[in-house]
């Protein structure tokens, strides 16, 4: 979800932006008047990704406003300048705003600004798996699955929140369906590579989130090596 904030006293401007945003299901908006304290409080409270800011505002000192945000917010919002003066585009450039929109606004230009943001910062969609049993549908986020364990002809999903969810399919079925980050390391286990904290080749054990010890066998040693190689590539420092 992309959260935007409009800082402008002009209701017409806010309505135009919101009308365009209605075509983007993943975008939400808040509007605040050109009041320094109110605007700053909303930025700090709601942590918007985009701020449409009227740089003609007389009650907000841009430099001070941006400085306070910079001092307090880790993931700072990106600003889009609004102004009735073409010359203010220079100010927008000086303050490193990502775009400048001349008022009165035109819908297609607002749309272009939002699309450019989407292109540069695409939203990561959560991948899910649906476990269906008769009229019961369970949706699991892939990234929340720690590992899978075979239980005869069924499979148990061990989740990050501690739940264990059963599915009436064999482990082999899920081995062929899950993303490449899931690898079989034992006849009874498929493991989520992204959740591994340690691989102990001497004891033939993978540690998942430290507390889960999952055995691996020589039959699947190539998969363990693949996991180790992938994790090593993302490691900043390796110490002996």
Q: Which two tokens stand for residue 60?
A: 């907000």
Cα separation, 84 vs 236, in Å, equals 49
| Equal CATH topology for 2-120 and 128-233 | no
Do residues 153 and 170 lie in contact, with contact meaning Cβ atoms separated by under 8 Å? yes
pLDDT tens digit sequence for 188-214: 999 999 999 999 999 999 999 878 999
pLDDT tens digit sequence for 167-192: 988 999 999 888 889 999 999 999 99
Q: Which CATH number fits domain 128-233: 2.40.50.1020, 1.20.140.10, 3.40.50.11890, 3.40.50.150?
A: 2.40.50.1020
Q: What is the DSSP string of 85-143?
A: -GGGHHHHHHTT-SEEEESSP-HHHHHHHHHHHHHHSPPPPPPEEEEEETTEEEEEEGG
pLDDT score recorded for residue 8: 95
- Could you give the maximum distance between any two Cα atoms of the chain, in Å? 72
How many residues can be counted in the chain?
Answer: 240
Domains in the chain: boundaries: 2-120, 128-233
Architecture of domain 2-120: 3-Layer(aba) Sandwich (3.40)
Closest CA to 139 of 163, 122, 170, 175: 163
pLDDT tens digit sequence for 101-110: 999 999 999 9
Burial of residue 70 (number of CB atoms within 10 Å: 0-12, 13-18, 19+)? exposed
Please confirm whether the linkage preceding 210 is cis (ω < 30° from 0): no
């Amino acid at each position: 979800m992309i959260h935007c904030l409009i800082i402008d006293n002009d209701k017409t401007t806010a309505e135009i932006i919101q009308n365009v945003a209605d075509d983007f299901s993943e975008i939400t908006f808040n509007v605040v008047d050109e009041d320094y304290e109110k605007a700053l409080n909303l930025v700090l409270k709601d942590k918007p990704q985009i701020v449409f800011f009227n740089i003609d505002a007389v009650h907000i000192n841009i430099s001070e406003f941006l400085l306070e945000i910079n001092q307090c917010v880790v993931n700072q919002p990106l600003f889009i300048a609004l102004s009735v003066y073409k010359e203010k585009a220079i100010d927008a450039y000086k303050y490193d705003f990502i775009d400048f929109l001349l008022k009165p606004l035109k819908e297609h230009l607002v749309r272009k600004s939002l699309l450019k943001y989407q292109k540069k910062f695409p939203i990561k969609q959560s991948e899910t798996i649906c476990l269906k049993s008769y009229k019961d549908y369970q949706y699991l986020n892939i990234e929340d699955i720690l590992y899978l364990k075979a239980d005869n002809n069924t499979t148990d999903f061990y989740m990050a929140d501690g739940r264990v969810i059963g599915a009436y399919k064999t482990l082999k079925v899920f081995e062929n369906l899950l993303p490449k980050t899931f690898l079989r390391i034992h006849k009874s286990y498929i493991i989520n590579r992204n959740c591994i904290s340690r691989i102990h080749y001497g004891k033939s054990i993978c540690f998942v989130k430290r507390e889960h010890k999952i055995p691996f066998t020589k039959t699947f040693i190539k998969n363990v090596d693949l996991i180790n190689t992938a994790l090593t590539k993302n490691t900043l420092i390796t110490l002996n």
